[in-house]
Amino acid sequence: MLNYRLIIITLVALFTASCTSMRAIEATPTAAQKHFVIGETITVHTVDNTIYEFELIEITEDSIVGKRQRIPFSEVQKLEQKKIGVVKSIGAGIGMTYLAVTGVVGLLYLVIVF
């Protein structure tokens, strides 16, 4: 008998698969306001090599603000934004679907033959 939990886990993985990459944004108030939306999760790299990831609350002329952070732009080395790659995500979904279908067909073949 087929393991239905395995099939459900595979289907959930298929529908939640997406490829993301980080896009570097210039560390200036103008660039930050252009590229980020309040409420978005961002990654901030500071000049002392500390990395912060937080939900953006506000962008002021001199700093970027989260719930527990206020980082002056003078201390920011790099800002990063997650970018979802649509083509990569579709390719991953197709590949995972192919693997799932061939796996199920292979299991059915084994059950029927043996």
- Number of structural domains (the chain) is 1
Which CATH number goes with the domain that contains 48?
2.30.30
14 within domain boundaries? no
- The arithmetic mean of pLDDT across residues 7-25, rounded, is 61
> CB of 62 within 8 A of CB of 29?
yes
73 within domain boundaries? yes
Q: pLDDT tens for residues 57-106?
A: 999 999 999 999 999 999 999 898 766 555 555 555 666 666 666 766 66
Contacts of 21 (CB under 8 A, 6+ apart): 82, 83, 85
Q: pLDDT tens for residues 21-69?
A: 566 778 888 888 888 889 888 899 999 999 999 999 999 999 999 999 9
Q: Higher-confidence residue: 108 or 43?
A: 43
Q: Is the predicted pLDDT of residue 9 greater than 70, yes or no? A: no
28 within domain boundaries? yes
36 within domain boundaries? yes
Does the reported pTM lie above 0.85?
no
- What confidence score (pLDDT) does residue 14 get? 54
25 within domain boundaries? yes
52 within domain boundaries? yes
